[in-house]
Amino acid sequence: MTHAANHTQADTGQGELARRPLGLTIAITAIAALYGALPLLEVYFLHRLSVTADEAYLMGGVEISSWTWLEGLFGGVVLIICLLAWWGRPPWIRFVLIAAILLPTALNLVRIAEALTSPVDPIFGGQTQEAIRDFLTCQLPGFVVVPLYATWYLNRAPARAFYRRVPLSRLARQAPDSASPDQPDGEADNSASHAAKTLTDH
């Protein structure tokens, strides 16, 4: 029993835990809100506009395209990825999370640019087109700040340590001569290997 406890402590850095850093929590929460919940809300919003178009006297109404439904479905997938990223398993889920936000970011920036540059059609667009334009414009700051912050933090040492299930202090002990805790994965691994080889040689 004592041997098992000691073995567990050795695996986690003598009792230390690879805790989820606050910055990672902020990144995952922001991604879940902007790329997961918001597309689902957009589908609901457009559906309500379509249902109540006649009652609210919205000229032209609104049609929910196949792309909008696909975007809502992708939002559900992003929420699942965020749950896995929150749990920290599998370790490569952080790369999936980064990939899951880069493509929709580019597509949504194109949509926002088109919405801002397209003139409002007073006959077939009217209030509906203006409502959609305002909705997309409100998302612009998020589509700039969130992907930049999330990509930056998911590649920092605290996030890498969490997904590797290795405490950050243990990584520092393994590679005491590393130039910076924020160096890329490959450099960190090479530094750790060099430190281990040096100890073996001596």
User: What pLDDT, on the 0 to 100 scale, is given for residue 199?
Assistant: 34
Q: Taking the model in full, what pTM does it have? A: 0.69
- Please tell me which residue, 168 or 37, carries the higher pLDDT value: 37
d(CA 52, CA 62): 10
Measure the CA–CA gap between 111 and 133, rounded to whole angstroms: 10
User: Got the DSSP string for 67-131?
Assistant: HHHHHHHHHHHHHHHHHHHHHT-STTHHHHHHHHHHHHHHHHHHHHHHHHHSPP-TTTTHHHHHH
Q: Report residue 160 as tokens.
A: 């890498």
Residue 120 confidence (pLDDT): 63
Name the DSSP letter for residue 168.
Answer: H
66-87 vs 22-31: helix axis angle to the nearest 10? 160
Residue 113, pLDDT > 60, answer yes
In this predicted model, what pLDDT tens digit does every residue of 53-107 receive, in sequence order? 655 555 555 566 777 788 889 999 999 999 999 999 999 999 999 999 998 899 8
Give yes or no for a contact between 27 and 162, defined as CB atoms under 8 angstroms apart: no
Q: What is the pLDDT of residue 11?
A: 43
* Buried residues in 21-55 as b, exposed as e (16+ CB within 10 A): bebbeebbebbbebbbebbbebbeebeebeeebee
DSSP state letter for 156: S
- 134 Cα distance to chain centroid: 24
Retrieve residue 1's tokens: 């029993």
Instruction: Identify the CA nearest to 93 among candidates 31, 2, 176, 173.
Output: 31
Q: Per-residue pLDDT tens for 131-187? A: 777 777 888 899 999 999 999 999 999 999 999 888 777 666 665 544 444 555 545
The residue whose two tokens read 């790369």 is: 95
**pLDDT surpassing 90 at residue 12:** no
